[in-house]
Amino acid sequence: MLETAQARMTLHERCDLVLAFARVLYVNGQATEQTKSATERLAQALDLRTRLMPRWGELQLVADDTHATFAQAEADPVGVEMDRVASTTRAIEDVASGRLAPDAAMKTIGDISRSPAAPTRAR
């Protein structure tokens, strides 16, 4: 099933998907190295070799294929929303295990990125 979905997605679409997941992790407080590691796992599941380069205010993704695809997204890591991070991490595992089709994962990450922030506790 995963291979069929990958075949329907272009290289550009797969790179956009990896970058979308990386952005949600990065802007919601995931540590940089953990963001890179999680997106590498997703890229591998999508049959990509990528390099994520986080910088303040942006993420750059380079896919190592014969044509070296490059993608970039604005990403200001200004908040911590660990529920979104946890949901994104679970979605990556679902893609990697075949429980979530890559072509459906873009909707999933969009839903996660728009989910309401967890309420803060009163002290």
Strand blocks (E) in the chain: 50-55, 57-63, 69-75
Q: Is residue 27 part of a domain?
A: yes
Determine the structural domain holding residue 59 and report its residue range. Answer: 2-76+101-112
State pLDDT tens for residues 44-67.
Answer: 999 999 999 888 788 889 887 655
Q: Is residue 121 part of a domain?
A: no
In the prediction, which pLDDT does 116 show?
87
Dihedral sign, Cα of residue 114, residue 90, residue 16, residue 13:
negative
Percent of the chain past pLDDT 70, that is, above it, reads: 79
CA proximity to 17, closest of 105, 84, 115, 114:
105
CATH for 26? 3.30.1300
| pLDDT value at 1 more than 50 | no
| Number of domains into which the chain is organized | 1
Half-sphere exposure of 85 (CA within 13 A, CB side): 16
CA dist 107 → 30, 53, 80, 94, 111 (Å): 21, 24, 22, 14, 6
Q: Which helix (H) or strand (E) holds 32?
A: helix 32-45
Average the pLDDT over 60-86 and give the result. Answer: 75
Residues 9 and 29: their CA atoms lie apart, in Å, by: 29
SS3 100: coil
Q: Which two tokens stand for residue 30?
A: 């995931």
State pLDDT tens for residues 12-35.
Answer: 899 999 999 999 999 999 999 999
